[in-house]
Structure 1
Amino acid sequence: MIEIIHSGFFTTVQDQGRVGYRKAGVPAGGAMDSLASRLANLLVGNDENEAVLEMTMNGPTLRFATDAVIAICGGEFFCTLNERPVSMWRPLTVRRGDVLAIGACQKGYRGYIAFAGGLDLPLVMNSRSTYVQAAIGGLHGKPLQKGDILSLRSRAMAVPNIPIRWGIAFSARNYIDGKKKVIRAAAGPEYSTFTAESRAQFFSLAYEVTPQSDRMGYRLQGQVLRRKDNTEMISEAVAFGTVQVPAFGQPIVLMADCQTTGGYPRIAQVIAADLPILAQARPGDLIQFQKVSWQEAQRLYVERERQLKRWKIIIQQKWREMGYAH
C-alpha cells in the first residue's frame, strides 16, 4: 500500500493507452513520454505496458507501507528517499515506512514512477490510463490527491537486500536536454494547401510552447501560417503528434489525450520516434520542426524499437547477475 502525502502539480496513472477505441471517439491517451515510461517498467522487471505514475513539473510525496522496487525515469527531478538524494533511471529498493519525495523538475517536464509488479487498479477499455476529461481509468478517473491510497499487485521479484548500482546510461536520456528541441515531422495531408512561404517557414523558424499547453495539445506561438484559400474542411482523423493550424495561423500540436477527429488543416505529423522529445517540452521551450519523409519516419521508429529491445536484454541480464530471474 502507498499513501499519497503530497500529490504534486499533476500526477496521474498512465500506461501505453487505450488501443482500438478511437472509432468510438475514445482517445488512446497513455503516457506522454512512452520511452521513459517503458524504460522505467523494464528497470523493475515489468511488462512495458504496465501502469506508472506520470508527474508533470513537480512530483508527489509517497509513503510506502510495503517493501517495493521502483524506478523513476523522465525529466530531471530532484528525488529523495527519507530525505536522502536518490538517482533516477535505475532500480531503487524501498522499504516499509520509507518516504519518497519528488520535487521540482530541473530539465524536461514529465517523469514516471514504475513499481515492480504494477499498480492494482482496474482496466477500463483494456487500459489503466487516466483520462481526466471523461473521468475514467487510473484512480477514480482523476489526478492523484493528498490522502489517496494506491495498492501494488504481487511483486515480480523479492526486494533485493543489496544496493543496486546499475541503471540506464546517460546517452539514453540526452533527448530531454535543451531549451530548443528539434522535432522531426512528415508533411501532413493538407500540407500542400498552405502557401509556399508558410511551408518554408514552418520547417525553418522556431515556435514557442505557450502556457496554454497540456496533455490534449500544445499551443505554439510564432510566425503565422497561411493557406492558399479559406476552404472549409470536414473533420478528419487526427492523432498524437498531428500538427493542426486553426484560422488564426498559430499551430497546435495534438498530444496524448487529443480528440480523435478535427476540422483544422493538418500541416504535419510528428514522427513517433520524436514524441518523447515533444512530451518533455515545457512552456517557454522552442520547437524547431525538421522535415523528414514517411519512409525515414518508419526507419527511425524501427531503430528505436530495436534499441529498446537491446536495453531490455541488458536489464534482464543485470537482474540475473543479481540472482533474480525474470
Structure 2
Amino acid sequence: MITVLETGVLNSVQDAGRFGYRHLGVSSSGVMDLLALRCGNALLENAPDAACIEVQTFPFKVCFDKPLSFVVTGGEGTLTLGERKILPWSIVSAQEGDILTIDHPTIGARMYLCVCGGIDVPEVLGSRSTQLRGGFGGYHGRSLQQGDQLAGAGGCVADGFGVLPPSLVLNGACKAEKEKTVTLRAIPATDYFLFTEEARRHFWSASWQITAQSNRLGYRLKGGALHLQHPVELRSYGVIPGLIQVPPAGEPIVQMADANTAGGYPRIATVIEADLWRLAQARIGSYIQLQQCDQTEGLQAMRDVDSYLNDICNTSALYRKSLIRRDTGKAGKKS
C-alpha cells in the first residue's frame, strides 16, 4: 500500500491512455508526458502502460506501507526519502514506513511516481487512467486526496541504476532558444492554407506564451491573432493531442491529453508526437516556438524516441545481469 500524506488538486492516477472509445465521446486521457511514464516503467521492468501517479501540484508526499521499488521521472526537483535526498530518473527501494516527498520541480511542470508493478486500480474501458471530467477510472474517478491508500503490485528490483533524462539526450532540433522557451516541431494541418500568408508567417515566427487558461484539455496560447483569408464553417472532425486549433478570437489552442474527441475550429498545424512530452513539461507562463517540419522528420524523431527507450531497456537488463553474475560469483566462493 501507498498512503497519500499530502497532495494538491489534480494529482491523479494515470496510465498510457484509454483508446478505442473516441467514437463514443470518451477522450483518451492518460499521462501528459508519455515518455516519462514509459521511461519509469522500462527502468522497473513494468508493462509499458502500467499506471503511475501524475503529480502536477506540489508538494506531494506518500508513505510506503511495505518495501517497494520506485522511480520518479518527468520534471526535476528535490526528492527526499525520509531524510535522504534521492535522484530522479533512478531506481530507489523504499522500506516499510519510508516517506517520499516530491517538492516543486525546478525544471518542468509535472513529475511521475512509477512503482514496481504499477499502481493497481480497476480498469475502466480498458484503462486505469483517471477521466477527471467524466469522474471515472483511476482512484474513484477523482484527484487524489490526503489519506487515500493505493495498492501497488509490489516487489523490489535492483536499485542504484538510473538514466539521463530525455531532455539531455533527445535535443535534436528542439533546444530551448532562450530562457523559458521550448521549441516544438509541428506539421501544417488540413486548414493551413485557409489562413492569410501573414498569419502563417506569424505562426512560425512568434513566441507563444502558455496562458493561465491552460490545463489537461488544452494549452491556450497568447502571442497575436491569426486571421483567416475569409470566414469559414467546418464540419466537426476528430481531435487528437497535439492538434492546434484557432478559434474566432485568433489565438491558438493546442489540444492535450484530455482533448475533446471532436471539434470544428480551423486547424493550422499539429505538434509531432515525439515532441508532446516537451509541451507537457512547459509551465504556464513559459513560451513555445513552433518550427515547421514534415512527416518524414516527424517519423524520424519518433524513431529517436523509440531508440532512447530501447537503450534504457537494454542497459537495464545488462545491469541486472551483471548483478546476478556478481552474486553468483560470491555464492560460489563461499561454497
Q: Tell me the residue number matched to 1:96.
A: 96
Against the structure 1 CA distance between its residues 53 and 136, is the aligned structure 2 distance closer, same or farther, given a 3 Å change threshold? same
| CA deviation after TM superposition for structure 1 residue 319, in Å | 2.1
**Contact 1:58/1:77, CA 8 A, preserved across alignment:** no
Structure-1 residue corresponding to 2:109: 109
Q: In 1, Cα distance between the equivalents of 2:73 and 2:169? A: 11
Aligned to 1:309: 310
Q: Could you report, residue by residue, the CA deviation over 1:222-268 in whole angstroms, capped at 9, with x for unpaired residues?
A: 02100011111121111000000000000000000000110100100
Q: Which residue of 1 aligns with 2:285?
A: 284
- Give, in angstroms, the shift of residue 83 of structure 1: 2.7
Where does structure 2 lack aligned partners over 5 or more consecutive residues?
326-335
User: Paired residue for 1:272?
Assistant: 273
Mapped partners of 1:129, 1:106: distance in 2: 26
Task: Please state how far the C-alpha of 1:10 moved relative to its aligned partner.
Answer: 2.7
The percent of aligned pairs where both chains have the same amino acid is 37
- Contact map agreement 1:6 1:60 (CA 8 A) in 2: yes
Query: In structure 2, what is the equivalent of residue 49 of structure 1?
Result: 49
> Does residue 219 of structure 2 align to residue 218 of structure 1?
yes
> How far 1:58 sits from its partner (Å)?
2.0
Contact (CA 8 Å) 2:170, 2:305: kept in 1 or not?
Answer: no
Aligned residues: 319
**Structure 1 contact 75–176 (Cα < 8 Å) conserved:** no
Query: What amino acid maps onto 1:79 in structure 2?
Result: L
* 8 Å Cα contact 1:16/1:31 also seen in 2: yes
Match of 2:76 in 1: 76
Summarize deviations over 1:110-167 as a string: whole Å, max 9, x none: 1111110112211111110011000111100111000100011243xx455xxx3331
Aligned residue in 2 for 1:38: 38
RMSD: 1.7
Deviations 1:21-63 (A, max 9, x none): 1111111111111111110111112111100111114242001
2:228 equivalent in structure 1: 227
2:202 alignment partner in structure 1: 201
Equivalence for 1:119: 119
Residues 67 and 159, structure 1, Cα contact 8 Å, conserved in 2: no
CA distance in 1, matches of 2:131, 2:122: 14
Code of the residue aligned with 2:98 in structure 1: it is: D
Match in the other structure for 2:186: 185
1:306 positional shift? 2.3
1:132 aligned partner: 132
Instruction: Measure how far apart 1:181 and its partner are.
Output: 0.3
- Deviation of the 1:302 alpha carbon: 2.1
**Contact kept? 1:54, 1:110, Cα under 8 Å:** yes
Residues 254-295 of structure 1, C-alpha deviation per residue, up to 9 Å, x if partnerless? 000000110100100000000000000111110100000122
Q: Distance in 2 between matches of 1:312 and 1:107?
A: 25
**Deviations for 1:185-233, whole angstroms, at most 9, x for unmatched residues?**
0001110100000001101111000011100000000021000111111
Moved more, 270-279 or 301-310: 301-310
Q: Aligned letter for 1:111?
A: M
TM-score (normalizing by structure 2): 0.91
CA distance 1:151–1:215, change in 2 (3 Å): same
After TM superposition, where is structure 1 displaced by more than 6 Å over at least 4 residues in a row?
173-177
Unpaired stretches in structure 1, ≥5 consecutive residues: none
C-alpha change, 1:244 and 1:42, in structure 2 (3 Å) is same
Which whole-Å CA distance do the structure 2 matches of 1:159 and 1:201 have between them? 51
Instruction: For residue 301 of structure 1, report the CA deviation from its aligned partner.
Output: 1.3
Q: Distance in 2 between matches of 1:207 and 1:159?
A: 43
Matched, 1:166 2:161: yes
Are 1:208 and 1:221, in contact at CA under 8 Å, matched by a contact in 2? Answer: yes
Contact 2:9-2:143 within 8 A present in 1 as well: no
Measured in 2, the distance between the counterparts of 1:14 and 1:172 equals 25
